[in-house]
Amino acid sequence: MNFRKLIAAGAIAVATATGAHAQDWPQKTVSIVVPFPAGGSTDMVARAISPKLGEKLGQSFIVDNKAGATGTIGATQVKRSPPDGYTFLVTSLGPLVIAPHLIKGLQYDALKDFDLITVAVQAPNVLVVPANSPHKSVADVIASLKANPGKMTFASSGNGSSDHLTAELFWQQTGTHGLHVPYKGGAPAITDLLGGQVDASFQNVNAVVQYIKGGKLKALAVTGEKRSPVLPDVPTIAEAGVKNVDVYSWQAIVAPKGLPTAVRDKAHGAMVAALNDPTVKSQFTAIGLEVVANTPAQFAAFQQQEYARWKKVIETGKITID
């Protein structure tokens, strides 16, 4: 057999083995790492799709919460895992497009160390104030910020979080500045917001929609390009007169770099099907989450765009997490 035939035979053998691997996968329990505590939006997404993945693929998909360092501990663990289809990361945007600009000595390259599977869901943030707040509109908030620079308090779930950076972007676009009050997670931030200890917050819609509908918080604007189906009477931030603050919080699924293409394709197909399962989809849409379920190529383009955007916001605002 000559050299060319040997190369061709080798290529066929590799392709056959890869195809067989995809057919056989999964043959054991698959770990879905969530880099945040149980109970948050990212954890909810992972737990909603895991049973459907198990039904479709015939193996257990177990959620493993590895919280810490704004999601980067769990992301680092996945980066270091074998790219064999038995470890995936379900994460918010933080570890993939925000933390790289804030954390020195990060143990992974967000743009190079993962195989992107799909953006699972997205939701706009919503500018909320306590029910007894004197502010009834975005214009009222801007007027207050201009009259008393640096005085109005904005709660967030932590330094570098989506709600923190949305506030920073809002201030940059309106030429104002408030006082950022970071909390250790969304729950305590919302508790103080409900109690009137802080003046405002850009919260994920799904985290506060029940308080808005219950009259405990006032919603002034959503940061989506269009109105949220769960808050149809609340204007978009653009409708309220502020341009270029179209922001979505999002959850996505990635794997360690080097996942066999056939396994990635099979996993992508199963995950898209799980996200679009009628029961799962209705669970998401009821709280304002929109199923995205895009392709790896679309996800890659989106990540690049978001990465550059938040880099600019962080550098312009001279934001640190210290």
7 or 245, greater pLDDT: 245
Q: What is the pTM of this model?
A: 0.87
The pLDDT of residue 17 = 45
Domain boundaries for CATH 3.40.190.150 within the chain: 3-122+251-316
Mean pLDDT of 249-253: 96
Question: pLDDT tier at 158 (50, 70, 90 boundaries)?
Answer: confident
- Does 14 have pLDDT greater than 70? no
Domain boundaries for CATH 3.40.190.10 within the chain: 124-222
CA distance readout (Å), 68 to 41, 74, 76, 118? 16, 7, 11, 23
Cis peptide before 26 (omega within 30 of 0): yes
pLDDT, the chain, mean? 92
Q: Are strands 114-130 and 248-256 parallel, antiparallel or unpaired?
A: antiparallel
Full DSSP string of 206-234: HHHHHHHHTTSEEEEEE-SSS--TTSTTS
Q: Where are the beta strands (DSSP E) in the chain?
A: 30-34, 61-65, 87-92, 114-130, 153-156, 179-182, 200-204, 217-222, 248-256, 290-291
Report the distance separating Cα 275 and Cα 288, nearest Å: 14
Q: Flag the least confident range among 6-10, 56-60, 130-134, 313-317.
A: 6-10
Q: What is the CATH number of domain 124-222?
A: 3.40.190.10
The pLDDT of residue 292 = 98
The pLDDT of residue 9 = 55
The pLDDT of residue 322 = 63
* Rounded (5°) CA angle 208-292-73: 70
- Does 308 have pLDDT greater than 70? yes
Report the distance separating Cα 93 and Cα 162, nearest Å: 8
The domain made up of 3-122+251-316 is a member of CATH 3.40.190.150: yes
- Does 22 have pLDDT greater than 80? no
